[in-house]
Structure 1
């Protein structure tokens, strides 16, 4: 089992299945350009080798979340900044439908701010 698989394996069901589904959707949204790495013990998603977002758990809110790089430039009322400089987070309510469309739209917005060398 690779380290990324181990990260998800440590999460209890049904949260694990929800996060694995979210992971799959993020990777499938741009399979040629989005990759996944484990940084700081967390699954990070990169766009053309530049930071895009990561998954984590908030002890404060007791919820998993997606943290978006360049979140400070995103204008979505669902996002929380809470003192972060470059990131905003989207809390995931496991009792509701996953806001996949919103997440994919936010990822596309973040991609616009990523400078990639040709």
Structure 2
């Protein structure tokens, strides 16, 4: 049986990123019953009532001990004030880098998603 592209994306990751990304996936999906997961632009994307909320990816430049860092890409992150969100060269998007070798900041991510859902309302 062939995996869906989105499931294959997670399956192809190496540890510790694989476990980190799978945990982030589950965390995002449990935040609200209206959050859905889709495979868009060749990456796992999360929508709230049909509007893109965020996506998961791995940063090519940022790494910890040689391990590339996963991140949550936040649509309309420019509307959020948060010192840990990185803008880079994006206008509308910001990213939250996640250390795959440490505990996921669950409460922080939950608060961030709640704020994004309020923006998307």
Q: Same fold (TM over 0.5)?
A: yes
- SS of 1:6 mapped into structure 2: helix
In the alignment, structure 1 segments of 5+ residues that lack a partner are: none
Matches within 5 A, 1:1-118: 1-30=3-32, 32-61=33-62, 62-114=68-120
- SS of 1:5 mapped into structure 2: helix
In the alignment, structure 2 segments of 5+ residues that lack a partner are: 63-67
TM-score by length of 1: 0.91
Q: Deviations over 1:3-40 (max 9, x none)?
A: 1100101101221112111101110111x200000111
Distance in 2, Cα, partners of 1:13 & 1:94: 9
Q: Shift of residue 78 of structure 1?
A: 0.7
What is the alpha-carbon root mean square deviation over aligned residues?
1.1
Distance in 2, Cα, partners of 1:52 & 1:98: 19
Conserved? CA contact 1:37–1:43, under 8 Å: yes
Q: Could you list the runs of 4 or more consecutive aligned residues of structure 1 that deviate by over 3 angstroms after TM superposition?
A: none
- SS of 2:113 mapped into structure 1: helix
- SS of 2:112 mapped into structure 1: helix
Conserved? CA contact 2:17–2:69, under 8 Å: no
